[in-house]
């Protein structure tokens, strides 16, 4: 158990990790350390290969710690550090898997919490969770990035059905499984109050121990003892996976206001009612409501329940006898392939591509705005080809490019939460990555990052060899006939002189 004191705010925390009853290695890893931005807690759950999961979780946690302690980009807020840490750890794990073929496919989930002066910031990727216990209720603050959660979000199954789904362990986002990552980050800090508890854990705990048991154990013991008891409970339940848990107890002079005692914390996963589109029924989950409340159900509630039940039965009769018979979607998952794939993707690719393309042309080609395209005109960072990062919104960026020569932009690829596009600008071809999210069906840009210059190199012109003229032979001088004759006469006279000798 460790205490951390900061004036009127204090925390006590404990943690524990365990192999479980089945696994031969512990692929979970955790960190807790103090930084200039507050106290940082990390839980990672690795996966892949013989030793890949163990390496991935350790590498991710150490990379996050290094980012917080060195702050290489001089960031100023805890949420920015969390995002930077998750993105850098994703890059580190991915690059490691590329360098070493034996580690191919490794990755890790991750949840990070920062506590500073009674305010928490957090972010995650995967299905490792963060809970808060407040006023004897437990709330899940992170939403799992998993296949089953996507089915719940689509209304295809209920939360209770998700607990025992055969594909429960399939995750849709993690560190290291792709070259890029858009983690979930809570950018607005959340106040915590006296006797609040924060719990970070891997799915080795959340899959084996109920949320109510987690809550009751956490508040009945000191954090370290509670962690040990929860690990033991998970092992007794089967211990089918590695188990990791960190519990932080808040000790503060600031007590929880009365109006917040029954309020769901901002950002918590809401489970009060989940509509099931497959069966047409509704599922009520009271896991975050005390037993005392359940025991005080009034006759009015029973009447309401009876009325809803009648409506459900009437709806089923209508579907069976008064409408065209629909295919049975409640059977085996394999019989609902198209629905499963749609739920797994989580977004309409073609529609999103069209919307992003229209926005990019609106910004960079000064085209008219399509009134059907809805977007947030929020501030986001823009890193250009010279490495300079500035802050713009869509309208201010459009104004800048309107003043410049017209550019041509082409969407190269589009995935959920990020796209790649290419701009042809005055002979240059530049590739950028756009990170975005959708909020209330509105596109919200988060980052634009220059990736690489695709401009083909200019053609190399070979120098033509210089032609040096060959020296011409010297023309033989032609002498006039008279001169030739005189020369011949001279030669004859010379010969005569040689033959005639004087007498002695």
Could you report the per-residue pLDDT of 242-277, keeping only the tens digit for each? 999 999 999 988 999 999 998 999 888 865 333 332
pLDDT computed for residue 401 by the predictor:
75
- Which residues in 119-183 belong to E strands, given as ranges? 119-125, 129-134, 137-140
Are 302 and 192 found together in one domain? no
Q: What is the mean pLDDT of each run of 10 residues along the chain (504 residues)?
A: 64 96 94 95 89 93 96 94 97 94 93 95 97 96 93 88 84 93 93 96 96 96 96 96 97 91 87 34 33 39 76 81 49 37 56 86 77 81 81 82 73 80 81 83 85 73 55 56 57 52 48
User: Looking at 345, 367, 383, which one is the last position of a domain?
Assistant: 345
Are 255 and 327 found together in one domain? no
Domains held by the chain: number: 3
Q: What distance in Å separates the CA atoms of residue 99 and residue 474, rounded to the nearest whole number?
A: 72
Is 400 part of a structural domain of the chain?
yes
Is 503 part of a structural domain of the chain?
no
Is 493 part of a structural domain of the chain?
no
pLDDT computed for residue 370 by the predictor:
65
- Domain containing 50: what range? 2-289
Are 265 and 151 found together in one domain? yes
pLDDT computed for residue 4 by the predictor:
57
pLDDT computed for residue 473 by the predictor:
59
Give pTM, 2 decimals.
Answer: 0.56
Q: What distance in Å separates the CA atoms of residue 226 and residue 41, rounded to the nearest whole number?
A: 17
User: Looking at 436, 453, 470, which one is the last position of a domain?
Assistant: 453
Q: How many CB atoms lie within 10 A of CB 397?
A: 19
Are 371 and 309 found together in one domain? no
pLDDT computed for residue 340 by the predictor:
38
73, 66 contact by CB (below 8 A): no
Is 276 part of a structural domain of the chain?
yes
Judging by beta carbons within 10 Å of its beta carbon (0-12, 13-18, 19+), is residue 264 exposed, middle or buried?
A: middle
Q: What distance in Å separates the CA atoms of residue 447 and residue 436, rounded to the nearest whole number?
A: 7
398 token code pair: 């459009």
Q: In this structure, what CATH number is given to the domain that contains residue 198?
A: 3.60.40.10
Q: In this structure, what CATH number is given to the domain that contains residue 416?
A: 3.10.450.50
The secondary structure of the chain in percent helix, strand, coil, rounded to multiples of 5, reads 35, 30, 40
Is 312 part of a structural domain of the chain?
yes
Is 482 part of a structural domain of the chain?
no
């Amino acid at each position: 158990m460790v205490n951390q004191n900061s004036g009127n705010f204090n925390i006590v925390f404990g943690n524990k990790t365990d192999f479980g009853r089945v696994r031969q290695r512990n692929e979970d890893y955790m960190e807790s350390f103090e930084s200039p931005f507050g106290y940082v807690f990390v839980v990672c759950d690795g996966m892949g290969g013989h030793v890949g999961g163990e390496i991935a979780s350790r590498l991710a946690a150490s990379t996050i710690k290094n980012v917080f302690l060195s702050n290489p980009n001089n960031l100023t807020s805890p949420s920015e550090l969390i995002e930077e840490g998750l993105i850098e750890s994703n890059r580190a794990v991915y690059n490691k898997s590329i360098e070493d073929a034996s580690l191919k496919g490794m990755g890790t989930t991750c949840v990070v919490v920062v506590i500073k002066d009674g305010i928490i910031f957090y972010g995650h990727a995967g299905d490792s969770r963060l809970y808060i216990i407040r006023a004897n209720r437990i709330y899940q603050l992170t939403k799992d990035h998993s296949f089953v959660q996507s089915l719940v979000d689509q209304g295809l199954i209920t939360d209770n059905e998700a607990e025992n789904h055969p594909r429960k362990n399939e995750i849709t986002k993690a560190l290291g499984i792709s070259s890029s990552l858009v983690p979930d980050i809570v950018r607005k800090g959340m106040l915590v109050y006296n006797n609040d508890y924060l719990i970070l854990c891997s799915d080795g705990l959340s899959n084996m121990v109920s949320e109510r048991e987690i809550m009751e154990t956490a508040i009945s013991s000191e954090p370290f003892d509670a962690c040990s008891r929860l690990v033991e409970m998970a092992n007794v339940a089967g211990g089918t996976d590695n188990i990791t848990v960190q519990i932080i107890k808040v000790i503060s002079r600031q007590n929880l206001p009365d109006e917040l005692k029954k309020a769901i914390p901002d950002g918590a996963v809401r489970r009060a009612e989940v509509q099931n589109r497959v069966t047409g029924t509704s599922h009520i989950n009271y896991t975050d409501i005390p037993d005392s409340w359940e025991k005080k159900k009034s006759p009015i509630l029973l009447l309401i329940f009876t009325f809803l039940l009648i409506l459900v039965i009437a709806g089923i009769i209508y579907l069976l006898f008064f409408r065209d018979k629909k295919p049975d979607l409640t059977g085996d998952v394999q019989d609902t392939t198209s629905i499963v794939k749609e739920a797994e993707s989580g977004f309409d690719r073609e529609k999103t591509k069209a919307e992003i393309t229209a926005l990019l042309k609106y910004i960079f080609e000064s085209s008219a705005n399509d009134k059907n395209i809805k977007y947030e005109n929020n501030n986001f960072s823009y890193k250009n080809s010279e490495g300079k990062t500035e802050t713009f919104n869509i309208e201010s960026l459009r104004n800048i490019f309107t003043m410049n020569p017209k550019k041509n932009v082409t969407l190269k690829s589009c995935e959920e939460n990020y796209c790649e596009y290419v701009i042809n600008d005055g002979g240059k071809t530049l590739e950028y990555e756009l990170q975005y999210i959708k909020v209330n069906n509105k596109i919200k840009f988060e980052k634009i990052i220059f990736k690489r210059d695709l401009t083909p190199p200019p053609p190399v012109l070979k120098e033509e060899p210089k032609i040096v003229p060959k020296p011409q032979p010297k023309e033989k001088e032609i002498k006039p006939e008279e001169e030739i004759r005189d020369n011949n006469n001279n030669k004859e006279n010379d010969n005569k002189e040689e033959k005639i000798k004087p007498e002695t």
